[in-house]
Structures are given as C-alpha cells and as structure tokens.
Chain A
Amino acid sequence: MELILEGIYKAFTLLVTLDPEVLNITFLSLKVSGTATLISLVLGISSGTLLALAEFPGKRLLVSIVNTGMGLPPVVVGLFVTIFLWRNGPFGFLDIMYTPTAMILAQAIIASPIVTGITLASIQNLPANLKLQILALGATRLQMVLILIREARLPLLAGVMAGFGGVISEVGASIMVGGNIKGYSRVLTTATVMETGRGNFDVAIALSVILLLLCFVINYILTRIQQRERPR
C-alpha cells in the first residue's frame, strides 16, 4: 500500500515539476497513439462502411475476420511488423525499424480492425430503410454514405475510444518495433515495463498513473461529446 502511495506521490511530483523526460514520454505516447488512431479512423470507417453496405459472396467470412482482428494480440502485430521492416525484410529499405513511425504503423494495424468492426456494427444498426430514404431524397451514393456515417456518429465515437484505448495501452508491439530508445521511442507503456523490470516501482507507478490519467481525460472529452449529443 505504501508503495502505491509513494508511486502516486512520485507521479504528482513528476507532473508538478514538469519533469522533462516524463513530459517527453507522455507527449510521444500521445503523438504515436493519436496518429495511429487517426490513421485507423480513416481506414476503419471507410472499410467498415463499405463492408456494411456492400453485398458480396464471402462477406460473412470477411466480417468474422474483422471481428477476430478486433482482438489482435499486439505482440503478433509487433512480430509481423518487425519481420516486414527488418533490414532484410520486404520493406527493410524504408529504414524505419525502431522509430516512432514503425510504432505508429504497428498501432494503426492494431486499431484499424477495432474501428472497422465498430463502424460495421454501427452502420448495420441503422434502420434498414434509412439508406433507401436518403437515396429517395435525391442523394448520390457518396452523399448517402456520408449521411449514414453522420447518423452513426455516436456509436462511432465509441469506436474512436476503443481504438485509442487499445493502442495507448499496448506495449508488446511498441517495444518490439520501437525498441524503447530513451528520448526517441520510449512511451509510457514501454517505460513502465522497463522501470518495473529494474525494480523502480515508484517511477513505474508514476508512469501508470499518468497513463491512466491520460486515458481518462481523452475518454472523458469523447464521452462528453457523445453524451451531449445523445437524445434525452
């Protein structure tokens, strides 16, 4: 118990004194996971909508694959991204292994199926005739799709939260493709793993508290947006 209190005190101190290293780590966490979430939103919302609206043979199989992908283990993603980005790998020439870019790539791969799956479910949950009603209002197909996405915006925000939550908290892929390099690719999760390994529990707790606070603040903002729009 003392250990936890000490950790919280440490976190408080680190935050209040604006410890440059902690700030740097926190900022990088936000940057990497935020960028990865944005990429996953672009990929996930478009493919989720396409998947919800299109009818083709094998659709159920693809939907099952997406749903499985929602629980993609980060270490598996880390392993495959490493193989692809390894110096001798197919994309080795990009020379981005052990960089924040590689971490963004891995996290985007983790978050995309989550956003795709939630988008798919949100669009499919809209009334079946809504699509026809929008077309009957004179919409082009593109206008129809955009209006459907707008109508599904509240459950889609849950997708944003799930996607961001999934990547800000993951450690396996980040450590594998980012390397936890101090001042360069060290994020809150990888730093926590390292500090715990070294027995610096107070610092590890401090980092965890910061991570939790960060998640809470982001989700609080998103929830406020979502609940403000929710019909009473």
Chain B
Amino acid sequence: MNNAGPLILEISNLTVVRGGVRVLDIPSMQLREKEVLALIGPNGSGKSTLLLTMACLIPPTTGEIRCHGELITAGRSVLAYRRKLAMVFQEPLLFDTTVYENVAAGLKIRGMARGDVKKRVMSTLELFNMAHMADRSARKISGGEAQRTSLARAFALEPEMIFLDEPFSALDPPTRLALTEDLERILDETNTAAIMATHDQLEALRLSDRVAVVNRGRIVQSGPPVEVMNRPADEFVASFVGMENVLSGKVTACSEGLLTVMVMGRPIELAGSARVGDEAVFCVRPENITIITDQGGATSARNVFPAIIDKIVSMGGYYKLHLDCGFPLVASLTQQSLSALHMEKGKRVVASFKATAVHLIRAGNQ
C-alpha cells in the first residue's frame, strides 16, 4: 500500500493505431514502487494492449515509456527494461518440460549460474507451495497448478514490477480464490509493484491500491478502488462497477448542498450541487438501499418510496430485488432478510436510501 513511493514507470502520450483505428490513447500513467494498480474494463477495451505496450512487447505508434526516469527506446535498453519486469498471461504458456525447468526458464535466459538458479527456483516454489511438484511435467498438472507455475516463473525473476493480464479469468472459482489469496500474500511479501488487468471488480478491489477503468482504449477514471466503486465518473464506469441504479432527472430544488431531482415524477434528494433546471445523472449502489415491509417503520433516510417487487433474482450468495417505485430500482438483499421479510413477486414494500448514498455523476444543461 503505497501512494507516494518513488516512480518506477511513467508513460506519456502513448497511442497505438491499428488499421487506422486508435486502439489505445493514454496521455499519462504512472506506477510507483510497491504499488498495485488494477486495470479494469470490459473485454476488448484495450487493457491487454496497454499491458503489452508498457512491457515493450508491442511497439506504440507514438509516446514514451520511462523507467526510473530513463527513456526506453530500442535495442539494448528494451532488453534491459524487459529484464526488470515479468509478465503473466491469461493462459499459463508453460514450456513442454518440468515445473522446475519452467520456473528456471527466465533465470537461465539471463545466464544465471546453475547453483543460483536451483536456489532461486526452489525458494520460489516454496513461496507458491509447489516445491513437491518440481519434477512433474508441466503438461500433466491442473489448470490452477499451471497458472501457479506461470506466476512462480514470473516471481522467480524477482522483478521490479509484474504485469498480469487477467491471470485468473480461465480458472474455476475456488482455484481462482486460492490463487488470488496467494498473489495478495506474495505481492505483499515481495513488495513487487504490479499492474493487473482484470474484468473482475472484486479481484481489483481486493488486490489493488489504485484502479484505472479502461474503456475504448482510454483511461476513463483512476483512483483508489473505494472511490471508483462509489463515485464513478460516468455512466460507463457506474455500470461497470456494479452501480445498477443509474438514474436521471431534472433538478427542481437546490439548497445547502442538497438537490431535489424529479425522476419520473418522484422527488429524489441527493448531496451535490447543481442549478435548478439542470439535467442530473446519478447513481445508488443496490447494497445501499434498505427494504422494509411497512411505511410506518422508522427510517432516517431522506428518500422513502413505496414499491412493488417486480422480480427476485438469485445471485448465488444473495438476491437482487427489481423494484418499481414509479422508477426502476434494484436493491440487494441477503437470503436471511429475504425469508424474514417474506419477499415475493408482487409484494408491496418500502425502499429507502440516504441522500448521501447517492452519487451525482454529472449535472448540467443538455
């Protein structure tokens, strides 16, 4: 966790143009020592291209990459730069040999002495709890073990920074969780700076110090995970980070930082500033909506709406209630609350949320 350490990586005016289309356009981005940055965005948003370009594995059309202030250009400087980093892809991409030889590969490429290679490989395998698998063939291990080997191969290099391109997205949930836990521990123990592309916001939330949301080759928002999750910069980020309730309406009143916005004839109060008559777009997380069964129940929330349950959707560990409050609203509920409140389709309930739980995305004349 570090927000003020020295810069390792700085990129500026980076663009990649392919077939006349600008697939990447990053005016500026930095990575600091020990920092873990998550790149989140949908498939095809440019996360992988950004990682590969930063690793000097594909050439940018324009732009500069600096490592410790030194410009990375071509030839020797690229090789020296690549040897400071390591990369893990979505597929394990293991070599057709033993686990040991796979983990040793990068070290042998660097011409490290045999004895040192052995020491380093074994200590890295220990770190990943894989020492007992050293002599197994990489072709005969499970998907999770293969990806663990791929991570071990990267960490064996003791890189200054590690780039991870959706390393867990092909794995089943329990394996994924186990590997995420290991990665979290090892990043922490080794103090390695990392940039990780993922489309899993929970993974990003768990591992990163900073999140950058990528869409159509651009970084649309960057900041601490909690801030990005709760205060998305636009509708795209909002929908991507699970803000299902993105609403819009006309501002009808404004006083002391409290706005009243009419949404389909219902007034919603929220914190923020705008002018009366502005069109406001705002969002509420489903977790921040409280459901009670009768209107008489005490609530300090400013926004209280009678609602009818339209649909109940099981999300595995919890449920999503699609409500009709005169405007559509999605609330999330635990299994326990669902059965305690006897929730069912068509039931009348009351939905409430605080003015401060609402995030104003933007307001203006449109």
Contact = CB atoms under 8 A, between A and B. Distances in A.
Interface residues of A, number: 20
B166 to A, nearest CB: 12
A232 B93 contact: no
Contacts of B319: none
A130 interface: yes
Contacts of A135: 57, 82
A138 B78 CA distance: 10
B87 A133 contact: yes
Given A127-B93, A135-B57, A231 B109 contact: no
A138 B93 contact: no
A222 interface: no
Contacts of B157: 137-138
A130 B140 contact: no
A132 interface: yes
Contact of A147 (B91, B95, B153): B95
B94 to A, nearest CB: 9
A136 B96 contact: no
B71 to A, nearest CB: 20
Given A129-B89, A130-B93, 11 more contacts: A132-B52, A132-B89, A133-B89, A135-B57, A135-B82, A136-B86, A137-B105, A137-B109, A137-B157, A154-B96, A231-B140
A133 B96 contact: no
A143 interface: yes
Nearest to A153: B96
Contact of A129 (B93, B106, B110): B93
A136 B85 CA distance: 8
B87 A231 contact: no
Interface string A142-166: 0100010011011000000000000
B185 to A, nearest CB: 23
B360 to A, nearest CB: 42
Interface of A: 127, 129-130, 132-133, 135-140, 143, 147, 150-151, 153-154, 229, 231-232
Main secondary structure on B side of the interface with A: mixed
B345 interface: no
A132 B79 CA distance: 13
Contacts of A147: 95, 105
Main secondary structure of the interface of A (DSSP, over half): helix
Interface residues of B, number: 24
A57 to B, nearest CB: 15
A153 B97 CA distance: 12
A151 B95 contact: yes
A138 B83 contact: yes
Nearest to A232: B140
Nearest to B153: A137
Interface in B178-208: none
Given A127-B91, A129-B91, A132-B57, A137 B86 contact: yes
Contacts of A136: 55, 57, 82, 85-87, 163
Contacts of B110: 138
Contacts of B52: 132
B57 A137 contact: no
Contacts of A151: 95-96
Given A132-B52, A147-B95, A231-B137, A138 B89 contact: no
A163 B105 CA distance: 31
Contacts of A153: 96
Given A133-B89, A136-B85, A232-B140, A143 B96 contact: no
B77 to A, nearest CB: 13
7 contacts: A132-B57, A132-B87, A137-B105, A138-B106, A138-B110, A139-B109, A232-B140
B55 A231 contact: no
Interface in B94-146: 95-96, 105-106, 109-110, 137, 139-140
A139 B91 CA distance: 19
Interface centre among B55, B79, B89, B109 (most CB of A within 10 A): B109
